[in-house]
Amino acid sequence: MRLSLIGKNMQPSIARIMIPASPDGSSDVPADVLIVEDDPIIAIDFEDRLLGFGVRSVRTVGSVAQALAAIAARAPDFALLDVELSRENSFAVAERLAALKIPFVFVTGYGAETRIASDFVNRPRLQKPCSSDALEAALRSRGS
């Protein structure tokens, strides 16, 4: 099952969790990952790859409000944050995650010209599209 809150008109109460049929019990990956991504195709791609790396639960949201609600409901172990969402950026989510000491990485399709809030300029970033190797490395290192 997949937590799918992507879409401008979807309510945060719509929630499904994706759990692989036979988790490998891998302890070097986070158990629960939150993806903040407004493009459904990219989000599904990330979800599928994360599950393939052994992540047990992947939750996906498409807006800052949905992300903050998901974090309040259950703090994730790790998060992937698309920098530029439809009409907003994900820095408020990054601030909340940082306050809770939850590791995260930014994901962007805009390259080096993407403006990152000064508090987060040293945070790791993945360039979209990112390779599976880069995604797995970010996941296993918890964005450090």
Token pair 């974090």 is found at 71
Please give the pLDDT value at position 121.
87
Give the 3-state secondary structure of residue 80: strand
| Residue 4 dihedral angles phi and psi, to the nearest 5° | -130, 105
Contact 71, 61 (CB under 8 A): no
Per-residue confidence band for 113, with pLDDT thresholds at 50, 70 and 90: low
Q: 3-141 maps to which CATH number?
A: 3.40.50.2300
pLDDT of residue 22 exceeding 50, the answer is no
Cα radius of gyration (the chain):
14
Tens digit of each residue's pLDDT (9 = 90 or more) over 123-136 = 999 999 999 999 99
Confidence at 111, pLDDT banded by 50, 70, 90: low
Confidence of residue 117 (pLDDT cuts 50, 70, 90): confident
